Amino acid sequence: MVTRLSITRIPTPAFVIDMKALRKNASILKDVAEQSGAHILLAQKAYSCYATYPELSKYLSGTTASGYHEARLGYEEMGRPYRKETHVYAPAFTTEDMEALLPICDHIVFNSIAQWQMHRERIYEYWNTSGIGLGSSERPACGLRINPEYSEIETEIYNPCAKGSRLGILRNALDQALGNAPVTSDSWDASIFTGISGLHFHTHCEQGFEPLARTIKVIEERFVDLLSLPQIKWLNLGGGHHITKDDYDRDGLISEVKRLSEKYNVTVYLEPGEAVAIDAGCLVGTVLDIVENGMKIAILDVSAACHMPDVLEMPYRPPLYNSYEPDEKPFTYRLAGNTCLAGDVIGDYSFEKELKVGDRLYFGDMAMYTMVKDNTFNGMPLPSIWILEENGQATCYKTFGYEDFKSRL
């Protein structure tokens, strides 16, 4: 039985996906793809609410994944039913991963030369037995993630180019693998890189076009020999591009994608997560109790630690409807979760009216990096998932209970 309710009446805790906002983001991405020629993929690590994949498939070229489980989800829910692309990258793949990925992926991106060496014989064999000859359009296509050692991300935990990062191949390591020979078509073709048809980098996080333009400049300086090889047919610019934000320079991105495609004769890929799901949903909670300790503290049925861990990891103070900065309005509260973790604090907010037990709170921008990171620490219930349609009715898509907690332990 389908339950439809107004958002003000759904039981909490609950995630509510806003289809109107999701469609708006997706249509901006579709427009960029059409104008630039880029293929735009959903990075499922940010948002994997596959109930909405049928709709997203109307706008996007496919999905990308951080490993086998996400790749399979993307393939089963978007790739196979809607004939969309399935891409995958992971810091390392096991031989079991590779067996499972080969039949379902269009692109596989390797994080090191050693990983590529470990898997390439199997891949050549797969290409041969599936009747797709080497040198033609091999599927899955294989690529290497490079680390340009240039990123403008300031939060260290999110910076793939930070000192000591394991993410991506350094120029230095490429040169060593090539025996420091100059990279030419000949040496490249004869080398261990036979079968590599693309390059990938991911060095952005919540950024505008300008940092991307500067990064591409660095990549063109450091990797131009590879980029210019005829065997390189695609270039993946990763995620972290805030393409759907109002102030993003989309015209700049479109002309840069066109320039790269023409200059190097490559198909350009973008794989945003955030930009697909930004501002496309909320987390609804209820006030369970109010205590005092130097200030008023409201205990909620939503938790930073369990339901929005980025609040603690980044850290940041999430937007909350009808709330203000602390002390801006007469009633200030610290909002905190119903767990034993002392630091399970969402943030301090003020309100025009006093909060009461039973009041509902709507945290904004909670579609991305939330339900994919949910956990049941302290046995906390997982929020149910609702889909809000443009007619204002929310449909219950999933609920969770004790068994979901127990089955993981």
Ligand X SMILES: *Cc1c(COP(=O)(O)O)cnc(C)c1O
Considering only residues 179 to 208 of the shown chain, the ones binding ligand X according to CB under 6 A are: 202, 205
In the list 271, 301, 344, 374, the residue contacting ligand X (rule: CB under 6 A) is: 271
Q: Considering only 41-49, 181-189, 296-304, 334-342, which stretch makes contact with ligand X by CB under 6 A?
A: 41-49
> Total residues contacting ligand X (rule CB under 6 A)?
14
Count CB neighbours of 324 within 10 A: 15
Q: Nearest to residue 151, comparing CAs of 86, 206, 212?
A: 212
* Positions 89 through 128 that interact with ligand X (CB under 6 A): 89
Using the rule CB under 6 A, is 43 a contact of ligand X? yes
Cβ neighbours of residue 286 under 8 Å, at least 6 residues apart? 12, 13, 300, 301, 358, 359, 360, 361
Q: Which stretch binds ligand X (CB under 6 A): 133-141, 235-243, 279-287, 342-350?
A: 235-243
Shorter beta-carbon distance to ligand X: residue 183 or 196: 196
| Residue selected from 143, 148, 240, 337 as contacting ligand X according to rule CB under 6 A | 240
**Residue 53 C-beta: closest distance to ligand X, Å:** 17
d(CA 282, CA 188): 50
The 10 Å Cβ neighbour count of residue 184 is 12
Rounded distance between C-alpha atoms, residue 50 and residue 66, angstroms: 16
Query: Whole-number minimum distance, CB 108 to ligand X, in Å?
Result: 13
Nearer to ligand X, 43 or 367 (CB): 43
CA-to-CA distance for 402 and 59, rounded, in angstroms?
Answer: 37
Q: Give the C-alpha distances (Å, rounded to integers) separating 220 from 148, 199, 213, 224, 338.
A: 10, 12, 11, 5, 50
Is 196 or 212 the residue whose CB approaches ligand X more closely?
Answer: 212
Residue 274 touches ligand X, criterion: CB under 6 A = yes
Residue with tokens 């801006």: 328
By CB under 6 A, residue 168 contacts ligand X: no
* Residue 46 binding ligand X, by CB under 6 A: yes
User: Which secondary-structure segment (H or E) carries 347?
Assistant: strand 345-351
Interaction of residue 85 with ligand X, rule CB under 6 A: no
| 278 lies in the site for ligand X, by CB under 6 A | no
Nearer to ligand X, 158 or 400 (CB): 158
State both tokens at 173: 């390591």
Among 74, 143, 272, 383, binds ligand X (CB under 6 A): 272
Kindly indicate which of the ranges 52-60, 251-259, 268-276, 323-331 contains the residues binding ligand X, using the contact rule CB under 6 A: 268-276
Q: Residue 240 or 347: which CB sits closer to ligand X? A: 240
* Amino acid making up residue 8: T
The nearest distance, CB 265 to ligand X, in angstroms, is 23
Burial 149-178 (b: 16+ CB within 10 A, else e): bbbbbeeeeebbbeeeeebbbbeeebeebb
CA end-to-end span of the chain = 30
Is there binding between residue 38 and ligand X (CB under 6 A)?
no
Q: Does 269 bind ligand X (CB under 6 A)?
A: no
Cβ-contact 270, 41 below 8 angstroms:
yes
CA distances from 347 to 274, 323, 368 (A): 22, 11, 19
- Check residue 239 for interaction with ligand X (CB under 6 A): yes
Give the span between the Cα atoms of 32 and 195, in whole angstroms: 30
Closest separation in Å from C-beta 119 to ligand X:
18
User: Closest separation between CB of residue 24 and ligand X, Å?
Assistant: 17
Count CB-CB contacts under 10 A for residue 353: 10
Shorter beta-carbon distance to ligand X: residue 177 or 205: 205
Interaction site with ligand X (CB under 6 A): 43, 45-46, 89, 202, 205, 238-240, 271-275
